[in-house]
Structure 1
């Protein structure tokens, strides 16, 4: 109940700086009100102790008519009113009491009114000063937040991990938080670097025995004394070896594409689309699939080899996962607003919408393509996404109603398309 009440009463998503300032202001006003009340109480108590002040007292014999036993002298008070009349006895005491009451009321009114006004003015100044102090105190936290936001907005999980906050200043809780965050980033950076180095080194080490194995199989197959069974076994081994080589090549390319593009160059995706369409025409002809290319001007900047691999993976994926005879693959490059796009759509078997996100994960394939004789290594779309993110772009995919997949790669356009040179 308390949680629900606090959520209803407190402002939604009020910044921490505003909450701190509001807390300072409320505490200052409460302290000022208490101080003003205590001052008023002490002031009233001090004035009340004064009693009636007598201007003069005289001693004289008591009147004869009212003689009574007791002390003979009589103490009489004398006071002068505003009109100059001299008052004695009870009249003088009443006049003094009335003057004392009016002085007390005037002083109390002046204290409360002027003190309240002064409290409001000083409270406003204290609120502004609290806002400035809160901003200075929260500035290191904003620096930590900005660094974390830049790392989170990186196109890949390991981008930006080289950044450090390196907060200077006194060793307080905020600096301890920043140092802990820097230590976490350093460990993550080392972990990702080690992972990339391991993949690259393992891929290089595995490529050599596969090359030697392929050469030995080919030598055995082409011997004059080789039987048909040996040649058939060699063909099967070469297919398995080729799949492993594709896997290793994909791992190398995936490890390389996840690094940041340090030296981008102008590239026109229209040239890449035309080149890839011509290069894959032979494979498409054997599969009975028509590749239709619409190479519109799409200037961007980046690594031409990686961008060519991106388009080639999309086209090859559309050829291999198709319907066979009568199938088609459409690849289009175009400029839209401040972005350039590569759109690849193909005919093929239906794809469930919930299976589309998993297609971009490494080694993820659909249905029967998960077997060892699959047409690819399961890294094609993973490489596409890594290359796109390395160039500051993104990839989206959706299943077509008639079957197949439509993939769109969006990349930043080149700032000046007239400076493009052939890549």
Structure 2
């Protein structure tokens, strides 16, 4: 069972109440010491005075016995007075201490309310956009300095992300346009029936290079876009994305003799359907490329476990050293065993962005991705995301 997390408000209240009880205990101790000394001194003087007055009035001579009786009575009165004072002081300290604890709780909540506002704003900014600000009004204290610093940080982040979005939009146009023109010119040249064979071979090579550059740019743009906030957030079933990816991957797996096994159940998440389809396609594409032609297999599983949706892709393939697994999620990192790669027809070698895009898309959907090397060769990649609201309760059944 998870231990309940202590809050600053609770710690401040306990600290305030503890300081109050300690100060009260010290005060009661001083009062007890002073009252004890005072009563002890007064009881002795009073006993002597009472004895002298009694003897003077009665004429009795047994002064010592009478003094002992009066002194004993004075001592009992002193002890009873001290005990009563101590009991009532401790009871009063307890009652006032409880009231002070409640007052400390209220004051701590009022003092920490700006921090709660900062926390709420930070959560809204993380879930929605960077345009919101705290804009805290009040005295120039440490909390206002924190809020102003946080607002300044949000302002810089907002400008940085706006610049990145503008760069991605401009790059999408500036980089795709010349490649599209090149592809068109090459295709027009190859349509010429009088073109020599050497020109056709050169044109085919240029088309392949141009296509690879288009795929590289497309991957970079998807990678940059997936690292930003999601532009759409709808209900998406990972099962549909997995089935679509399996259908697309079949065009390369069937000619290569790679079997795809599927165990797909419903797993609804909230996010961007196109990005999630791209995530599943990249996982399947990576599993096809790095596999054993003619004798390999790929296992795709979609399910929900403990309130999370899981997409797992397991494949045979070349052995991957465990220390290299984490590096495969970095951009432009490829498996070293290039001779075992199965390429899709006309696609050329991969750009090394497939798993990087998978990780970025998973993070954009508040998920994680984990890869482990299989002892027999190949990888097991698991993507975990929170299920869509309304399905979390059913997913644990």
When the two structures are superposed, what TM-score results if normalisation uses the length of structure 2? Answer: 0.74
- The superposition leaves residues 24-53 of structure 1 with CA deviations (integer Å, 9 ceiling, x where unpaired) of 322321232123323433444555666843
Distance 1:402 1:275 in 2: 28
Q: Is 1:41 matched up with 2:37?
A: yes
Counterpart of 2:286 in structure 1 is 317
Please state whether the residue corresponding to 1:381 is helix, strand or coil: helix
Counterpart of 2:394 in structure 1 is none
Offset of residue 250 of structure 1: 1.9
Offset of residue 380 of structure 1: 1.8
Please state whether the residue corresponding to 2:331 is helix, strand or coil: coil
- The superposition leaves residues 83-118 of structure 1 with CA deviations (integer Å, 9 ceiling, x where unpaired) of xx8135x645x5775576346524431342122212
Q: Is the 8 A contact 1:29 1:119 kept in 2?
A: no
Question: Cα distance 1:354–1:138, how it changes in 2: closer, same or farther (>3 A)?
Answer: farther
Counterpart of 2:250 in structure 1 is 281
Q: Is 1:307 matched up with 2:276?
A: yes
| Superposition pairs of residues 66-105 of structure 1, within 5 angstroms | 79=54, 86-87=58-59, 91=62, 94=64, 97-98=67-68, 101-102=71-72, 104-105=74-75
Q: Is 1:387 matched up with 2:361?
A: yes
Offset of residue 124 of structure 1: 1.8
Question: Cα distance 1:309–1:325, how it changes in 2: closer, same or farther (>3 A)?
Answer: same
Please state whether the residue corresponding to 2:260 is helix, strand or coil: strand
Q: Is 1:400 matched up with 2:374?
A: yes
Distance 1:239 1:366 in 2: 22
Q: Is the 8 A contact 1:340 1:412 kept in 2?
A: yes
Q: Is the 8 A contact 1:25 1:130 kept in 2?
A: no
Q: Is 1:249 matched up with 2:249?
A: no
Q: Is 1:353 matched up with 2:322?
A: yes
Please state whether the residue corresponding to 1:332 is helix, strand or coil: strand
Please state whether the residue corresponding to 2:311 is helix, strand or coil: strand
Distance 1:252 1:204 in 2: 11
Please state whether the residue corresponding to 1:177 is helix, strand or coil: helix
Q: Is the 8 A contact 1:287 1:325 kept in 2?
A: yes
Offset of residue 315 of structure 1: 0.9
Higher Rg: 1
Question: Cα distance 1:37–1:396, how it changes in 2: closer, same or farther (>3 A)?
Answer: same
| Superposition pairs of residues 206-355 of structure 1, within 5 angstroms | 206-219=175-188, 231-261=200-230, 263-336=232-305, 338-355=307-324
Distance 1:388 1:116 in 2: 66
- Which residue, 174, 189, 192 being the options, matches 1:205? 174
Distance 1:78 1:265 in 2: 100
Q: Is 1:128 matched up with 2:98?
A: yes
Counterpart of 1:25 in structure 2 is 21
Distance 1:227 1:213 in 2: 19
- The superposition leaves residues 155-209 of structure 1 with CA deviations (integer Å, 9 ceiling, x where unpaired) of xx96567476666665543444344344444444443444344344334332223
When the two structures are superposed, what TM-score results if normalisation uses the length of structure 1? Answer: 0.71
Question: Cα distance 1:31–1:343, how it changes in 2: closer, same or farther (>3 A)?
Answer: same
Distance 1:321 1:149 in 2: 45
Unpaired segments of 5 or more residues in structure 1? 1-12, 56-76, 418-423
Q: Is the 8 A contact 2:234 2:273 kept in 1?
A: yes
Please state whether the residue corresponding to 2:313 is helix, strand or coil: strand
Unpaired segments of 5 or more residues in structure 2? 1-7, 339-346, 392-397
Question: Cα distance 1:98–1:336, how it changes in 2: closer, same or farther (>3 A)?
Answer: closer
Distance 1:54 1:409 in 2: 94
Moved more, 376-385 or 307-316: 376-385
